[in-house]
Every structure is written in structure tokens, then in C-alpha cells.
Amino acid sequence: MKEYIAYCGLDCESCEARLATINDDDALRVKVAREWSELNGVEITPEMINCSGCRIKGVKTPFCESLCPIRQCALNRNVETCGNCIEMSTCEKLGMITANNPEALERLKR
């Protein structure tokens, strides 16, 4: 599996947090922090918007590093992605992503 595909099947390569990080784009960090704050109902600061990718060594956003239940589960199960988990089709945590992002599910099925 491509290393920039997150455990949940999202494409980290196109994630604006990753793009802000690799391009050192503070304006994009501000934009992402504002959007993610509204979306999640919590304060996310531009300083939190630094991520190299879910499965890539390096910096992660606070959520991706330690709060994402999908990433924590995959790490604990020692699977490459959720696509390698026998519970993928019934997982409620993964369903929170794939219900709104069929492309993520398709990436995991490949």
C-alpha cells in the first residue's frame, strides 16, 4: 500500500495539513486550523497544523498523533492499514470515515 494512505484509507498526500507542513505554508495552516476548529467544535491553532502523514515517521497533528481512535487501533493491532484488519467491514470507528468518504474505503479494499 502506498505509504501516504492513512490507516483509515484517507490520502495524506492531498491533506492540507501535510501540504502546509511540507511547503511551510503558514497561511494554509491558519486556513486549516480555522476549518478544523469549526468542523470539530474545538480550538485548533495554526501551530497544531504540522503533519508528515499518518503512517510516515515524523511530526503529526495532536489528533493524529494520539487521539485518532482509528490510528491507535491499527497501531495496537499492528496492521499496515485497516484494509488488513479482519474487522474492517464491521468497524464503527472506521465507518465514521468511510461512510462519508467512499474513496477511502476503496483504497483499503485494494
Q: Residues 6 or more apart from 95 whose CB is under 8 A from it?
A: none
Do the Cβ atoms of 79 and 91 come closer than 8 Å?
no
- pLDDT for 33-78, tens place per residue? 999 999 889 999 999 999 999 999 999 999 999 999 999 999 999 9
**pTM as predicted:** 0.89
The candidate with the shortest Cα–Cα distance to 56, out of 109, 98, 2, 103, is 2
